[in-house]
Structure formats: structure tokens, C-alpha cells
Amino acid sequence: MSSTQTETQPQLQVSSGPICHALSDIVKTDDWSDFKFAPITESTVSRAMTSRYFADMDKYAVADVIIVGCGSSGLSAAYVIAKNRPDLKIVLVESALACGGGGWVSGQLFSAMVMRKPTDLFLKEVGIPYEDEGDYVVVKHAALFTSTMISKVLQFPNVKLFNATAVEDLITRPSSKGGDSVTVAGVVTNWTLVTMNHDTQSCMDPNVIELAGYKQDGTRDHSQKHGVILSTTGHDGPFGAFSAKRIVSIDNSNNLVGMKGLDMNRAEAGVVKNSGSYAGVESIYFAGMEVAELAGCNRMGPTFGAMVVSGVKAAEEILKHFA
């Protein structure tokens, strides 16, 4: 190509119009030299945080629903319960800083999240876009699903999340059935960093979140509906299947069966169908991969439909309890 031909090629035109953003009316200079924040003292920041945190601890010291673990199943259950019953006080307890469990990435740290139908019906409801591949759908990044679910759940005014908080034990009371049977009455909690350092320090006592339905002396208050715990602590990690492990030590009639090998078709159906109440101890429900550890289901690998649907099924059972 000759130099003459090169010179006659059309040149790229870049728009030089004004740049608009949320601060356009505040910042008037190109170098932002006129920008400033509203004044504040350091103690104001501390008081704004601590006053609200401890007010929440006081408000949610007694709750109707305590969800242990905020992965895919815990979040879907919280969404369904909160949407249907805005009158219930719902507490989410998550040992990690971030909710979502393994839902930030897919298999082997890949990004696309595969969910088999009919999970797409739930995705449509919460407004998460996906690619339809026939029998399954694909969300372009697992983080899109998880971040959207967290946003949806935390917008409900009756939901409180305590993250970086570990459940160390379950509170129990004698069951109405009598004998040696028990019912769960709440959870024993501590900040996760404290829980992980019990062996390095002297006594660091925990705190509690109690279920609704008891009088001051600890006896049943039959004027209230008894609260419930939904445990969704997964299977891997330091707190994996925590409630399942603890509950079988309380209920002598059962054992932790343990998760079987990977089989997607069996696993997803098994996890969903076995999600819900636990026959041995009253007022505790299970969802997600903790069900696989408790009931001996297969593991499912990198397909997430059962996580969502098991949370929905457990939420439906809990809503029936409060009906």
C-alpha cells in the first residue's frame, strides 16, 4: 500500500463530549482539587459501627429462624423464608468473612456456574441472567449468582447476617415427647478468630442466639411458635458438616453416614429429597451438602442446582412449621 493510500484511510474519531458520573455536579475542576468529603471524627465512625452491631446483637438474641452457613443453599432458603414471612426474625450465621461458601467459583476454580433445570425457575425469580443449554443453564460467573443472592437476602428488613461468626455448639432443651429426646433451642456462637484460637489462649467464653418459644426460666412458652435452626454448613473446611456431626452425637440412634463418591444424577436428587427436618432431634433442619454427610448421599461435583433447590425445599418445610 502506497503512502498516498495510507493517508486517505478514514481516521478513528473519539468523542470529546462531557463525562458524566454521580459526582459530576460536585467536582468542577479537571484535577479534582475542589473535591472534599463531609467532615467526621474517628470516634463517630467507631460509634456508628459499634452502636448498630450491638443493637443487632440485642435485637436478634432471640430469633425465629437461625440459618447456620450462608452458602448457596442457606442463601436460597433465607430468600424464600424472608419473602414469605416478613414477620419472622431471621439470623444468618457465617463463619467466613464472605457468604457464599463454594459459590464464588465453579469446579476447579472455573468461573461459569452450571445448574440443571428446573433451577432456572429460581434464577428467573431473583433476576440472575443465564445461557439456556437445553437441560441445563449456565450463569456466566458463579460470583454473579452469589453476589446477587447476598444482595437480595440482605435487603430484607427482617434478616440479620453475623459473618466471621462460628457456631461452636447447639443449645438443647428436653423434648415435649419426654424421655431422653431433645429439641434444639439455639446456637452457641463466637467470633471465628476466637474459635480458631481456643488452644492458644485461656478461657474465651462464647455467646448465644436463642430460638423463640421459651420463658425466662427456660421452659416452653406455648403462646409462641417454636423457632427452628436450618444448618447448611457444607462438607469441606474446618466447620464443614458441623451441625450434622454434633447432632448425631446428641441423637444416639443415628450416625454420620458420610458422603459417597461423585454421581451427579444421584447426588442432586438425593440432596434435595433428603433436605428438611431431622427425625432424631426436634426443630433442626438441614440443606445443601451437609445433607450428603448426614444422609450418605453422593457428592455432586461442580453442578449447583441442588444447592439452590435443597434450600428452597427446606424453606418450604420451615414455612409450613410456622403456618
Distances (CA, A) of 254 to 248, 257, 278: 6, 9, 11
Q: What is the CATH number of the domain that holds 137?
A: 3.50.50.60
Mean pLDDT of the chain: 93
Residue 38 lies in a domain: no
Q: What pLDDT is attached to residue 19?
A: 85
Structural domain count, the chain: 1
Q: Which residues contact 12 (CB under 8 A, 6 or more apart)?
A: none
Neighbour tally for 158: CB within 10 Å = 17
Please check whether residue 66 is in contact with residue 229, taking contact to mean a CB–CB distance below 8 angstroms.
yes
Residue 2 pLDDT greater than 80, yes or no: no
**Higher pLDDT pick, 320 / 13:** 320
Residue 52 lies in a domain: no
Question: How far apart, in whole angstroms, are the C-alpha atoms of residue 136 and residue 106?
Answer: 15
Residue 111 lies in a domain: yes
Residue 46 lies in a domain: no
Integer-rounded Cα radius of gyration of the chain: 25
Q: What would the mean pLDDT of 177-198 be, rounded to a whole number? A: 90
Q: How confident is the model at residue 15 (pLDDT cuts 50, 70, 90)?
A: low
Question: How far apart, in whole angstroms, are the C-alpha atoms of residue 206 and residue 305?
Answer: 35
Residue 172 lies in a domain: yes
Residue 88 pLDDT greater than 60, yes or no: yes
Q: What pLDDT is attached to residue 5?
A: 53
State the residue range of the domain holding 218: 63-322
Strands (DSSP E) contained in 142-288 are 159-162, 165-174, 182-191, 207-211, 228-231, 260-262, 276-277, 284-286
Residue 3 pLDDT greater than 80, yes or no: no
Residue 187 lies in a domain: yes
Give the torsion through C-alpha atoms of 174, 178, 183, 189, to 10 deg: 20
Lowest mean pLDDT among 71-85, 136-150, 172-186, 298-312: 172-186
Q: Cell 441442588 identifies what position?
A: 306
Residue 45 lies in a domain: no
Question: How far apart, in whole angstroms, are the C-alpha atoms of residue 188 and residue 170?
Answer: 6
Q: Cell 416478613 identifies what position?
A: 86
Residue 47 lies in a domain: no
Residue 294 corresponds to which cell in the numbers above?
Answer: 448426614
Q: How confident is the model at residue 31 (pLDDT cuts 50, 70, 90)?
A: very high
Q: What would the mean pLDDT of 172-194 be, rounded to a whole number? A: 89
Q: What would the mean pLDDT of 289-310 be, rounded to a whole number? A: 94
Q: What pLDDT is attached to residue 14?
A: 67
119 alpha carbon, distance to own chain's centre: 18
Which of 249, 235, 231 is closest to 298 using CA atoms?
235
Q: What would the mean pLDDT of 79-106 be, rounded to a whole number? A: 97
Residue 4 pLDDT greater than 80, yes or no: no
Lowest mean pLDDT among 117-131, 151-165, 180-194, 232-246: 232-246
Phi-psi region of 17 (alpha: psi -120 to 50; beta: other; left: phi over 0): beta
Residue 9 pLDDT greater than 80, yes or no: no
Distances (CA, A) of 322 to 84, 90, 113, 188: 11, 13, 33, 23
Q: Which residues contact 296 (CB under 8 A, 6 or more apart)?
A: 257, 258, 259, 260
Is beta strand 207-211 parallel, antiparallel or unpaired with respect to 90-93?
unpaired
Q: What pLDDT is attached to residue 202?
A: 86
Neighbour tally for 230: CB within 10 Å = 31
Please check whether residue 44 is in contact with residue 50, taking contact to mean a CB–CB distance below 8 angstroms.
no
Q: What would the mean pLDDT of 106-119 be, rounded to a whole number? A: 96
Q: How confident is the model at residue 177 (pLDDT cuts 50, 70, 90)?
A: confident
